[in-house]
């Protein structure tokens, strides 16, 4: 059985137009207008977050996952937006939808001190305070690296040195004289 060339040509054209295309272009940096750093105390450790305000590039754009990176005393936050393919961008960004988002700042491994936080090029400062421990009387004590033990010890009690107590020999109640 022979397939007519017109049907074969139509089928070949249909298959070539079915190429996989991404649903949306890659995320782009959102227009950030301001960034403010808030520091809270979480059980003696600092906890920081960036409150970022700005505008979207279109009314259909949405914020997507942010990215964080470090370079010395500079912390970078990339605030990203995703616009669906074929969406019309707003020519005047002052007409765009405003956004506000709170992003936790990763402080792991940072020493106390002053850092610069940059969210899509808008900068502010972040000061990480000294760690504090509360004494029993309610006073705060500064925790310094010198207060930490210089050597770690791995002590254990050998099982041969432990004393075995038979649970049957323990009385159910204790008499107080």
Question: Does residue 160 form part of some domain?
Answer: no
Q: What is the pLDDT of residue 147?
A: 47
Q: What angle do CA 118, 122, 125 make, to 5 degrees?
A: 55
Question: Does residue 105 form part of some domain?
Answer: yes
Mapped onto helix, strand or coil, the DSSP state of residue 53 is strand
Question: Does residue 135 form part of some domain?
Answer: yes
What's the chain's length in residues?
177
Question: Does residue 14 form part of some domain?
Answer: no
The answer, yes or no, to whether residue 70 has pLDDT greater than 90, is: yes
Query: How much of the chain exceeds pLDDT 70, in percent?
Result: 55
> Per-residue pLDDT tens for 101-123?
999 999 888 899 999 999 999 99
Q: Which residues have CB under 8 Å from 162's CB, separation 6+? A: none
Q: What is the total count of domains within the chain? A: 1
């Amino acid at each position: 059985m022979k397939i007519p060339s017109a049907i074969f040509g139509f089928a070949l054209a249909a298959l070539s137009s079915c190429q996989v295309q991404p649903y949306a272009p890659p995320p782009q940096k959102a227009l950030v207008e301001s960034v403010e750093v808030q520091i809270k105390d979480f059980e003696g450790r600092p906890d920081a977050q960036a409150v970022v305000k700005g505008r979207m590039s279109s009314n259909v754009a949405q914020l997507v996952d942010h990215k964080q990176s470090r370079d010395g005393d500079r912390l970078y936050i990339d605030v990203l937006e995703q616009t669906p393919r074929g969406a019309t961008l707003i020519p005047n960004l002052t007409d765009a939808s405003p956004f506000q988002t709170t992003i936790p700042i990763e402080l792991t491994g940072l020493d106390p001190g002053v850092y610069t936080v940059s969210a899509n090029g808008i900068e502010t400062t972040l000061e990480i305070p000294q760690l504090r421990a509360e004494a029993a009387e309610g006073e705060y004590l500064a925790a310094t690296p010198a207060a930490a033990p210089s050597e770690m010890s791995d002590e254990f009690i050998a099982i041969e040195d432990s004393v075995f107590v038979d649970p049957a020999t323990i009385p159910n109640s204790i008499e107080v004289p």
